[in-house]
A and B are shown apart, each in its own frame.
Chain A
Amino acid sequence: MLTVNDINVYYGPIHAIKGVSFEVRPGEIVALIGANGAGKSTVLKTISGLLRPKTGNIVFDGRDITKLEAHKVVRAGLAHVPEGRRIFLQMTVIENLEMGAFTKSTVSEEDLEDIFTKFPRLKERRKQVAGTLSGGEQQMLAMGRALMSKPKLMMLDEPSMGLAPILVEQVFSIITELNKAGTTILLVEQNAGMALDVAHRAYVLETGNITLSGTGEELAQSDEIRKAYLGG
Chain B
Amino acid sequence: MIKGYKGIPMPVRYLINAGLFVVFLVVVSSLTDAKVISTYNNKIIMLIGINIILAVSLNLATGYLGQLPLGHAGFMAVGAYASAIFMKAVIKTLPLGLSLPLGLLIGGLVAAVFGFIIGIPALRLKGDYLAIITLGFGEIIRVILLNIDSVIGFKLTYGAAGLKSIPKTTTFLDTFICVFLVCFVIHAILKSRHGRAVLSIRENEIAAESCGINTTYYKTMAFVMSAFFAGVAGSLYAGYIGILDPTGFGFMKSIEILVMVVLGGMGSMIGSVISATVLTALPEFLREFDAYRMVVYSLLLVVVMIFKPTGLMGTYDFSLSRLLGKPWERLTSGGKSKKAGDR
Contact B207 A74 (CB under 8 A): no
What size tier do the contact residues of chain B reach?
20 to 34
Interface SS of chain B: helix, strand, loop or mixed?
helix
Interface residues of A in 59-114 (CB under 8 A from B): 69-72, 74-75, 79-82, 86-91, 94-95, 98-100, 102-103, 107
Q: How many A residues face the partner with a CB closer than 8 A?
A: 29
Which residues of B lie under 8 Å from residue A95 when comparing CB positions? Answer: 196
* In contact, B207 and A82 (Cβ under 8 angstroms): yes
Closest to B207 in A: A86
Known: A71-B215, A98-B1, A107-B1. A88 touches B200 (CB 8 A): yes
**Beta-carbon nearest neighbor of A91 in chain B:** B203
- Which residue of chain B lies nearest to A106 when distances are taken between CB atoms in the complex? B1
Name A6-64 residues within 8 Å CB distance of B: 48, 50
Is the pair A99, B214 in contact by a Cβ cutoff of 8 Å? no
Counting residue pairs across A and B whose Cβ atoms lie within 8 Å, the total is 63
Chain A contacts of B208 at CB under 8 A?
99
Q: State whether A71 and B204 are in contact (beta carbons under 8 Å apart), knowing that A99-B196, A102-B197, A107-B1 are contacts in the complex.
A: no
| Cβ proximity bits A138-154 to B, threshold 8 Å, 1 near / 0 not | 00000001100100000
Q: Is B212 an interface residue (CB 8 A)?
A: yes
A103 and B212 contact, Cβ closer than 8 Å, known pairs A88-B200, A98-B1: yes
Known: A98-B1, A99-B196, A102-B197. A89 touches B212 (CB 8 A): no
What residues on A are CB-neighbors of B315 within 8 Å? 90
Known contacts A69-B214, A71-B212, A149-B212; decide if A88 and B1 are in contact (CB<8 Å): no
Inter-subunit contact B212/A75 (CB<8 Å) = yes
A102, B204: Cβ atoms closer than 8 Å: no
Please state if A88 and B206 are interface contacts (CB–CB under 8 Å): no
State A114–B85 Cα separation when bound (angstroms): 60
Q: Which of B3, B203, B206, B212 contacts A102 (CB 8 A)?
A: B212
Is the beta-carbon distance between A89 and B203 smaller than 8 angstroms?
yes
Q: Which residues of A contact B (CB under 8 A)?
A: 48, 50, 69-72, 74-75, 79-82, 86-91, 94-95, 98-100, 102-103, 107, 145-146, 149
> Interface residues, chain B, CB within 8 Å of chain A?
1, 3, 193, 196-197, 199-200, 203-204, 206-215, 315
20 contacts between A and B (CB under 8 A): A69-B214, A70-B209, A71-B213, A71-B214, A74-B212, A79-B210, A80-B210, A82-B206, A86-B204, A86-B207, A88-B200, A89-B204, A98-B196, A99-B196, A99-B211, A100-B211, A102-B196, A145-B211, A146-B210, A149-B211
Closest 7 pairs (CB-CB, A-B): A74-B212, A103-B212, A86-B207, A88-B203, A71-B214, A80-B210, A70-B209
